Amino acid sequence: MESVKKRHHEIRSGSMAVATGLSAFLAAGILMMIHVQLAIVPLAGFVLVCLAAPFFPCIGFYAPVVCRGAAGGSAVALTFDDGPDPLTTPPLLALLKDRRVTAAFFVTGENAAAHPGLIEDIVRQGHLVGNHSFGHSTRIFFKRVAAVVEDIEAAQEVLAGCGVRPQVYRPPVGIVSPRLAPALLKTGMTLVNFSCRPMDRGNRRLGGIAARVLKRVQEGDIVLLHDRKPPDPNRLPDWLKEIADIMDGIQARGMKVVPLSDLIGMPVMVRLDNRYNVADTESRER
In the chain, the amino acid numbered 50 is C
Indicate if the pLDDT at residue 76 is higher than 50: yes
Phi then psi dihedrals of residue 133, to 5 deg: 80, 175
Annotation marks residue 127 as catalytic: no
Of 26-35, 49-58, 231-240, where does the model show the most confidence? 231-240
Annotation marks residue 232 as catalytic: no
| pLDDT tens-digit readout, 62-74 | 788 999 887 567 9
pLDDT over 90, % of the chain: 62
What is the predicted pLDDT for the residue at 29?
A: 66
| Catalytic pick among 115, 127, 132, 226 | 226
Q: Taking the model in full, what pTM does it have?
A: 0.84
| pLDDT tens-digit readout, 253-263 | 999 999 999 99
Domain ranges of the chain: 15-55, 65-285
Handedness of CA 192, 81, 129, 165 (dihedral sign): positive
What one-character DSSP code corresponds to residue 62?
S
| Catalytic pick among 81, 85, 151, 200 | 81
Using CA atoms, how far apart are residues 18 and 16, in angstroms rounded to an integer? Answer: 5
Using CA atoms, how far apart are residues 65 and 176, in angstroms rounded to an integer? Answer: 9
Pick the CATH number of 65-285 from 3.50.40.10, 3.40.50.2000, 3.20.20.370, 1.10.10.10: 3.20.20.370
